[in-house]
């Protein structure tokens, strides 16, 4: 099974900047969708911050995202696993109210994860970890510790990693928490 991983798309960023959306669309048209089709990829894992504003959505940005991304994934029969990130949850202390769950219910091919969940991707058991906050931290840490998954994918805030070219994360969780996993993938960071 082949999967595609995408993260931090921030639909509606910079006040629904046409420049950003044009850049996204070029990537989707020239790279993302052709790659999905070329390699027969039928599963996408979105590791968070799909929409930019935690407090609301620009309706034009939502329409753009549905037309240029979600409708296309649906029409290709691609299953999407979406992990809640810090920009897609309304409150800072809970993931209960989040934009991806509220805005994408019409898409039967989209599954939203607002709490840590073990998911089978083909034969690979994978732990999906949404934004960790005051409400879910204890339960999430317990599942991270007890899970038998080999891979963890989430929207993680880890100390010592570069957020972008200028900033290194000085707060967050110690990456030792994930030392038992053979692979850990994270959204939240805007650089490799």
H runs (alpha helix) in the chain: 13-16, 18-27, 33-39, 59-65, 71-75, 99-103, 137-146
Give mean pLDDT, residues 90-113.
96
Q: What is the pLDDT of residue 192?
A: 65
CATH number of the domain that residue 22 is part of: 3.60.21.10
Q: What is the pLDDT of residue 163?
A: 74
Instruction: Judge whether 155 lies within some domain.
Output: yes
Instruction: Judge whether 8 lies within some domain.
Output: yes
Instruction: Judge whether 192 lies within some domain.
Output: no
- Which residue range forms the structural domain that includes residue 22? 3-186
Give mean pLDDT, residues 104-130.
97
Instruction: Judge whether 191 lies within some domain.
Output: no
Give mean pLDDT, residues 88-92.
94
| Total domains in the fold of the chain | 1
Strands lying side by side in the sheet with 3-6: 3-6, 43-46, 79-83, 110-113
- pLDDT tens column, 142-186: 999 999 999 999 999 888 777 777 877 777 787 889 999 999 999
């Amino acid at each position: 099974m082949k999967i595609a991983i995408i993260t931090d798309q921030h639909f509606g960023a910079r006040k629904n900047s046409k420049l950003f959306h044009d850049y996204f669309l070029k990537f989707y048209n020239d790279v993302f969708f052709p790659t999905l089709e070329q390699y027969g990829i039928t599963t996408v894992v979105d590791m968070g911050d799909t929409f930019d504003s935690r407090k609301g959505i620009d309706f034009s940005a939502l329409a753009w995202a549905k037309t240029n991304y979600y409708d296309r994934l649906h029409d290709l029969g691609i299953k999407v696993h979406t992990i809640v990130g810090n920009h897609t949850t309304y409150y800072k202390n809970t993931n209960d109210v989040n934009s991806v769950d509220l805005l994408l219910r019409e898409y039967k091919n989209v599954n939203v994860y607002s709490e840590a969940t073990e998911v089978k991707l083909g034969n690979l058991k994978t732990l999906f970890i949404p934004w960790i906050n005051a409400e879910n931290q204890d339960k999430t840490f317990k599942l991270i510790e007890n899970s038998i998954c080999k891979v963890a994918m989430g929207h993680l805030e880890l100390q010592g990693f570069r957020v972008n070219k200028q900033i290194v994360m000085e707060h967050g969780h110690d990456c030792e928490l994930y030392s038992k996993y053979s692979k850990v993938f994270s959204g939240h960071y805007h650089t490799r």
